[in-house]
Amino acid sequence: MSKNKLKTFIIALLALNCIIFSQDGILSLSINIDKTEYFINESIMLEVSLFNMSSDSIFIDPGALSSSERIIQVFSLDGTLIQPQKGTWGCGERHGVTYNEVIKPYDKLTRKFNLLEAYGEIVPSTVNWYSLDSLGVYEVKCVFNNSFEFAESISGRRTDLWMGTLVSNIIQFEIIPFTEYEINKLSVALQSSDEDELFNALVTVRKAQITNLLYLVNDILPATNSEKIRYEAARMMMEYADEKYFDLYIESLNSSHRTTRAFGAICLGRIKDKRAVPYLIELCDQVKYPHSYNVAARSLLFIGDKRAIPVVQKIVDSQDVNTVLHTVFTRELEELKSKTD
C-alpha cells in the first residue's frame, strides 16, 4: 500500500475520533475495551491509542500517558465522575511504538490500562468513596493533555514536544449481577489450595456481597497461614458481622497482622457479644498491641459491659490516643458509667 493510500485509509478509519491539528502534525486519540459486560472484581482492560496521521514524526512526553488523573475519566450513567483510589497508576503493556517520545508517520502508540487497578477497591476507612463495585452502566473516555510549558527547563527533555489536548470517543460498559454458574465457580475457588485463586475469590465474594457463600469463609482463617488470606477473610467477616462467626472473630485477634486483629475486634463490637469482653480487654494492652488497643477499646464501649470501664479509663488517662478518639472515648465512657451505676 502506498503512503498516500495508507494516509487516506487511516484518516477514514479515525474519522469518528477527536482530531486536533497542531503545528507538528495531526494526532488522533481513540479507546477500545475488551468487552461491554463485566462482573464485579473482573479486570476491565482499556486500550488507549494515539495515531499520528501526518507525514512527520510527532514528539510527545511519555509521562502524559502514565497518570490516571491526566488520561482516564470514568462516569456513572448520571454523569458523576468516579474518583480513582490511586492518583497515579501503571498502565500495563505497551504495544507498537517503543517507550520513547516519538510517534512515526502513520504509526500509533498504544497503551493498555486495567481500570480495576484504580477503581476496583474501597479502602475500609474511606467514607463516600466511589468505585466500580456497584452494578450499573458506566462511561469511560480518555483525555490526553500534552501541555508541558516547562519542557525547555527540564534537563534532557525535548523542546519540540507536541502541545495540545485530545479527547477520545466515549465507551459504555456495564457491571452485571453474577450468574448461578459464576457463583458456583466462586464456591469452588473458595476451597482452592492455590493462594492467589483463593484470595481473588474472597475479594470478589466480599465486593459482590454474595452472602450465601460466607459460610465457606468460616473454615479459611483457622486453616491458613497466609496473612493476605487471613486479612481478606477477616475483612469480609467485618463487613457482614454475625454472631454465628464469633469463634472466627476471636481467632482473628491472634493474628500477627494488625489490620486483621482490628477487623476481628470491630466485628465483636458490632455483634455486642459479652463473651468477647475478656479477649478485647487483653487487646487493650497499649504496650503489646500499640496499633490495636484503640479499636479494641471502642468495641468494648459498643458492647457496654462495665468490665470495660477501668480498661478504657486507663487508655484515656494515658493521653496516648489522638484528640478525636480521646473525646469519643471520654464521652462514651461517661455514658457507660451512667448506665452501670
DSSP 8-state class, residue 190: T
For CATH 2.60.40.2970, the residue range(s) in the chain are 3-175
- Give CA–CA dist 299/330, Å, rounded: 14
pLDDT score recorded for residue 73: 86
DSSP 8-state class, residue 330: H
Q: Are 276 and 245 in contact (CB under 8 A)?
A: no
pLDDT score recorded for residue 181: 95
pLDDT score recorded for residue 66: 62
Confirm or reject CATH 3.40.50.1970 for domain 3-175, answering yes or no. Answer: no
Question: Helix 227-239 to helix 195-208 angle, to the nearest 10 degrees?
Answer: 10
For CATH 1.25.10.10, the residue range(s) in the chain are 180-340
- Short-list 119, 22, 111, CA closest to 65: 111
Spelled out in words, what is the top-level CATH class assigned to the domain 180-340? mainly alpha
pLDDT score recorded for residue 11: 45
Report the phi/psi class of residue 285: left, alpha or beta, with left for phi > 0 and alpha for psi in -120 to 50. Answer: beta
Report the phi/psi class of residue 197: left, alpha or beta, with left for phi > 0 and alpha for psi in -120 to 50. Answer: alpha
Say whether 162 sits in a helix, a strand or coil: coil
Torsion sign (Cα): 181, 200, 118, 259? positive
**Which residues in the chain show pLDDT less than 50?**
10-25, 87-100, 122-130, 148-155
Torsion sign (Cα): 32, 37, 38, 40? positive
pLDDT score recorded for residue 15: 40
- Give CA–CA dist 263/329, Å, rounded: 19
Q: Which helix (H) or strand (E) holds 232?
A: helix 227-239
Say whether 112 sits in a helix, a strand or coil: strand
pTM: 0.65
pLDDT score recorded for residue 217: 75
pLDDT score recorded for residue 159: 54
pLDDT score recorded for residue 272: 92
Q: Which helix (H) or strand (E) holds 50?
A: strand 45-52
pLDDT score recorded for residue 341: 67
- Give CA–CA dist 189/191, Å, rounded: 5
Q: Are 312 and 296 in contact (CB under 8 A)?
A: no
Torsion sign (Cα): 208, 213, 218, 220? negative
- The angle formed by the CA atoms of residues 190, 192 and 197, to the nearest 5 degrees, is 80
Summarised one tens digit per residue, pLDDT across range 97-150 is 434 468 888 898 888 888 887 776 544 433 334 467 788 999 999 888 765 443
Report the phi/psi class of residue 61: left, alpha or beta, with left for phi > 0 and alpha for psi in -120 to 50. Answer: beta
Q: Which three cell numbers stand for residue 215?
A: 459460610
Task: Report phi then psi at 149, rounded to 5.
Answer: -65, -20
- Give CA–CA dist 93/109, Å, rounded: 11
